[in-house]
């Protein structure tokens, strides 16, 4: 009886061992073929908390381990988040017909050591028993070798831990997989990795938006009154940063840095979208109503949700905020079209393209339709920036056409003006002939007219003396003018006498007017000087010539200087420099602006020079007191004292290549 009992117990034990073996065999993950997208290892995983190197060996008995799906989101794996180090094990079988050059594609949010049949084949991240030293990396599907042996059954063991104190975030429907593994052929894995991380397409998108940002900035620099162009340039540069961060994250495996950059990218994307909406409102000159304010507040809400609540920020932003923003851009574009704003239809076309492309992208991402062969994401995000650039170009073309029409109108008016001037010239010629005939009859009255002009001159000279002109004009000049008029009258040159007397009368009038003002315009002063030099040139016939040059950057109509500041130096150049020269000479007056606040007046003559003049001591010059120079020196001192300026006068002797005197140069520097 005992023997039968022993046989029965032994039979039961053998049956139980067989059942356990059958159960373990049934837990194998069979891989009979490799589809184009690879095999996702998402079933028959076992998990155990703790850390033991024996757990990597294929013969280890893991029947009591807990079943788990490590491909789930990390928030759905509380057992993995509650421990420091744990292990995953998977028993799988491989059909003989499957090629042995395989690749393992891993997505994870922790650090791991991967063992195949007891041999460590890869380490992803820094994994130690010290939690503070754990550094997680995410290869993001980058193919790594998977050297399976010839036997059909294998064990994949993963030593795994999460980096502590990480704040996880998501992008759209992307999940933070605890440990997602896919087996595929190496060739297909490399192709799929390059397709998923399309560097060329991302670089193209970044390049386009960066060029558009520079174009917006150029439009603003050429037309700064339109500040919307500046807003769009900021939008373009921020969008460039967003896409550059997104591209950098793809090739940067550190999980800690990925989440930080995702957070920066998200908040910058929300802010940039609000800035784009602000810019569209400004560009179309639409009031920022309650819809704009509500969307701005909703954007802030998205930023808060994305920062503090897992999984909601990108969903609210991508599936709601961007679509609502596209609808609002379409709304204000339609309103602008109804208001007959030129070019608003361009913005409407861009907003429509954005709405359609983003809706297709959203439906495809949510799984309501298969992925489209075209890049709807890039089309959506480039639609509005591109049409804004087209709108700016269209507005510039309108402005150019308007300017062209205005120039044509100006040209037409100019032609009409030329015709009127030609008619007036014809009439003036006829009047000139008539006046010439009348002048022949009036010649007999010329003597009486000269006498009358002389009487007027003496009266005006007396009035000028009563007004205080005697201290601002050398009396010898007035006497010489009277003698010249007398000489013209004696020689019966009535026309020259009339011209000379007219110039002198005008000069006296301008001197009187200027003497009532503390400052006069440079144009007025040069006109007075020109009259004076004209009279001196007439008096000395061919012995004296002069030239007055004003630099193009000197606006003589508005620059003001003390009156009669230049004339004494010119008079000195004539009497003490040129009159001692048998052939006479030239006085050159030049006005320049070496600095923005400094006017420089240069009086140059090619006379005998100061030393030679003092040596000759001719009678015409030796007894002429320099009242003008003394008065000018006193006036300069007074101007410096009243206006707190530094007006200066510098006199230089000029010499030729042989060291002989060849003239004098006076430089006046007047702050303006």
Residue 324 lies in a domain: yes
Read off the pLDDT of each residue in 453-471 and give the average, rounded to a whole number: 48
164 and 202: one domain? no
460 pLDDT above the threshold of 60: no
Residue 235 lies in a domain: yes
User: CB of 256 within 8 A of CB of 163?
Assistant: yes
Instruction: Please give the pLDDT value at position 459.
Output: 46
Domain boundary among 148, 169, 190: 169
621 pLDDT above the threshold of 50: no
Which position has the higher pLDDT, 366 or 135? Answer: 135
138 and 202: one domain? no
Cα(247)–Cα(244) distance, integer angstroms: 5
Instruction: Please give the pLDDT value at position 125.
Output: 92
228 and 359: one domain? yes
Read off the pLDDT of each residue in 458-477 and give the average, rounded to a whole number: 47
C-alpha 404: how far from its chain's center? 28
Read off the pLDDT of each residue in 58-79 and give the average, rounded to a whole number: 91
Instruction: Please give the pLDDT value at position 15.
Output: 37
Q: Which two tokens stand for residue 361?
A: 């992208």
Partners of 654 in the β-ladder: 663
Which position has the higher pLDDT, 23 or 647? Answer: 647
Instruction: Please give the pLDDT value at position 18.
Output: 39
68 and 164: one domain? yes
Which position has the higher pLDDT, 85 or 197? Answer: 85
Instruction: Please give the pLDDT value at position 12.
Output: 44
Q: How many CB atoms lie within 10 A of CB 363?
A: 14
473 and 395: one domain? no
Cα(193)–Cα(277) distance, integer angstroms: 35
Instruction: Please give the pLDDT value at position 144.
Output: 92
What pTM does this model have?
0.54
155 and 212: one domain? no
| Mean pLDDT score of the chain | 82
632 pLDDT above the threshold of 70: no
Cα(663)–Cα(652) distance, integer angstroms: 9
Residue 425 lies in a domain: no
Instruction: Please give the pLDDT value at position 173.
Output: 59
CA dihedral 471, 474, 480, 481 (to 10 degrees): -60
CA dihedral 267, 273, 274, 277 (to 10 degrees): 180
470 pLDDT above the threshold of 80: no
Instruction: Please give the pLDDT value at position 644.
Output: 66
Residue 559 lies in a domain: yes
Domain boundary among 375, 402, 429: 402
Beta strands in 240-361 (DSSP E): none
Instruction: Please give the pLDDT value at position 514.
Output: 77
Read off the pLDDT of each residue in 239-257 and give the average, rounded to a whole number: 89
Q: Which residues contact 624 (CB under 8 A, 6 or more apart)?
A: 474, 476, 575
25 pLDDT above the threshold of 50: no
Instruction: Please give the pLDDT value at position 197.
Output: 75
Work out the angle at residue 58's Cα, subtended by the Cα atoms of residues 54 and 60, and round it to the nearest 5 degrees: 50
Check which CATH number belongs to the domain holding 596 and give it. Answer: 3.30.565.10
267 and 395: one domain? yes
Q: What is the per-residue pLDDT across 547-557, written as a single tens digit (0 to 9) for each?
A: 999 999 999 99
Q: What is the per-residue pLDDT across 116-175, written as a single tens digit (0 to 9) for each?
A: 999 999 999 999 888 888 999 999 889 999 999 888 899 999 999 999 888 787 776 577
120 and 267: one domain? no
Read off the pLDDT of each residue in 556-573 and give the average, rounded to a whole number: 86
65 pLDDT above the threshold of 90: yes
Q: What is the per-residue pLDDT across 528-545, written as a single tens digit (0 to 9) for each?
A: 999 988 888 888 776 888
Instruction: Please give the pLDDT value at position 646.
Output: 82
Cα(359)–Cα(395) distance, integer angstroms: 30
Which of helix, strand or coil describes residue 578? helix
Read off the pLDDT of each residue in 269-280 and give the average, rounded to a whole number: 92
Residue 193 lies in a domain: no
579 and 646: one domain? yes
Q: Which two tokens stand for residue 261?
A: 């950059």
Domain boundary among 379, 402, 425: 402
Q: What is the per-residue pLDDT across 408-459, written as a single tens digit (0 to 9) for each?
A: 788 888 888 888 888 888 888 888 888 777 767 777 777 777 666 665 554 4
Q: What ranges in 443-474 are assigned the alpha helix state H?
A: 446-466
117 and 245: one domain? no
Residue 608 lies in a domain: yes
Residue 14 lies in a domain: no
Cα(96)–Cα(506) distance, integer angstroms: 119
Instruction: Please give the pLDDT value at position 642.
Output: 66
157 and 204: one domain? no
Check which CATH number belongs to the domain holding 38 and give it. Answer: 2.60.120.260
Residue 291 lies in a domain: yes
% the chain with pLDDT above 70: 87
Q: What is the per-residue pLDDT across 576-606, written as a single tens digit (0 to 9) for each?
A: 888 888 888 899 999 999 998 899 999 999 8
% the chain with pLDDT above 90: 29
Q: What is the per-residue pLDDT across 304-346, written as a single tens digit (0 to 9) for each?
A: 888 887 777 777 888 788 889 989 999 999 999 898 888 889 8
Work out the angle at residue 423's Cα, subtended by the Cα atoms of residues 418 and 426, and round it to the nearest 5 degrees: 125
Cα(322)–Cα(267) distance, integer angstroms: 14
Instruction: Please give the pLDDT value at position 631.
Output: 59
How many domains would you assign to the chain? Answer: 3
Owning domain of residue 556: 467-671
492 and 630: one domain? yes
Instruction: Identify the band that residue 639 occupies on the pLDDT scale cut at 50, 70 and 90.
Output: low
């Amino acid at each position: 009886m005992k023997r039968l009992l022993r046989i029965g117990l032994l039979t039961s034990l053998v049956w139980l061992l067989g059942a356990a073996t059958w159960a373990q065999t049934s837990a194998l993950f069979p891989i009979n073929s490799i589809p184009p997208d690879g095999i996702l290892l998402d079933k028959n995983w076992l998990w155990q908390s703790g850390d033991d190197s024996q757990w990597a060996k294929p013969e280890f008995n893991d029947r009591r381990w807990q079943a788990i799906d490590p491909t789930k989101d990390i928030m759905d794996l509380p057992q993995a988040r509650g421990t420091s180090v744990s292990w995953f094990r998977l028993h799988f079988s491989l059909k003989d017909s499957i090629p042995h050059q395989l690749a393992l594609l891993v997505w994870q949010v922790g650090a791991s050591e991967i063992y195949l049949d007891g041999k460590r084949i890869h380490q992803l991240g820094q994994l130690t028993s010290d939690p503070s030293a754990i550094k997680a990396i995410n290869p993001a599907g980058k193919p790594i070798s998977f050297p399976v042996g010839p036997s059909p059954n294998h064990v994949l063991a993963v030593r795994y831990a999460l980096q502590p104190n990480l704040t996880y975030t998501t992008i759209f429907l992307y999940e933070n997989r605890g440990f997602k593994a896919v087996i595929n052929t190496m060739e297909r894995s490399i192709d799929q990795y390059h397709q998923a991380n399309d560097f060329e397409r991302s670089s193209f998108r970044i390049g386009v938006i960066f060029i558009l940002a520079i174009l917006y900035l150029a439009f603003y620099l050429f037309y700064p009154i339109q500040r919307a162009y500046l807003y769009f340039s900021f939008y373009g540069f921020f969008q460039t940063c967003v896409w550059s961060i997104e591209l950098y994250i793809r090739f940067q495996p550190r999980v800690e840095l990925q989440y930080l950059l995702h957070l920066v990218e998200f908040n910058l994307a929300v802010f940039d979208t609000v800035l784009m909406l602000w810019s569209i409102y400004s560009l179309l000159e639409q009031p920022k109503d309650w819809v704009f304010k509500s969307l701005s507040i909703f954007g802030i809400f998205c930023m808060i949700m994305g920062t503090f609540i897992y999984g909601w920020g990108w969903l609210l932003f991508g599936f709601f905020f961007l679509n609502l923003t596209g609808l609002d851009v379409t709304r204000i574009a339609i309103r602008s079209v109804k208001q007959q704003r030129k070019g608003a239809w361009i913005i409407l076309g861009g907003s429509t393209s954005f709405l359609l492309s983003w809706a297709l992208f959203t439906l495809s991402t949510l799984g309501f339709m298969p992925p489209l062969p075209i890049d709807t994401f890039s089309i959506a995000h480039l639609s509005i920036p591109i049409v804004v650039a087209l709108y700016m170009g269209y507005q510039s073309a309108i402005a150019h056409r308007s300017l062209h029409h205005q120039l044509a109108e100006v040209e037409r008016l100019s032609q009409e003006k030329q015709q009127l001037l030609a008619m007036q010239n014809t009439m003036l010629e006829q009047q000139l002939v008539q006046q010439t005939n009348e002048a022949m009859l009036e010649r007999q009255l010329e003597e009486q007219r000269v006498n009358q002009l002389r009487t007027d001159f003496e009266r005006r000279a007396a009035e000028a003396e009563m007004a205080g002109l005697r201290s601002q004009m050398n009396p010898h000049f007035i006497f010489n003018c009277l003698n010249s008029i007398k000489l013209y009258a004696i020689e019966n040159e009535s026309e020259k006498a009339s011209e000379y007397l007219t110039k002198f009368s005008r000069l006296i009038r301008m001197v009187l007017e200027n003497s009532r003002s503390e400052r006069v315009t440079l144009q007025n002063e040069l006109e007075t000087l020109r009259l004076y030099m004209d009279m001196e040139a007439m008096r000395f016939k061919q012995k004296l010539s002069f030239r007055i040059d004003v630099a193009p950057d000197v606006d003589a109509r508005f620059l003001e200087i003390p009156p009669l500041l230049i004339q004494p130096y010119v008079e000195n150049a004539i009497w003490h420099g040129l009159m001692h020269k048998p052939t006479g000479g030239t006085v050159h007056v030049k006005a320049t602006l070496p600095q923005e606040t400094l006017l420089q007046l240069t009086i140059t003559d090619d006379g005998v020079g100061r030393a030679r003049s003092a040596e000759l001591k001719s009678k015409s010059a030796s007894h002429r007191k320099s009242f003008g120079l003394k008065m000018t020196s006193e006036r300069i001192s007074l101007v410096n004292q009243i206006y707190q300026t530094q007006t200066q006068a510098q006199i230089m002797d000029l010499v030729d290549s042989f060291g002989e005197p060849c003239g004098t140069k006076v430089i006046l520097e007047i702050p303006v």
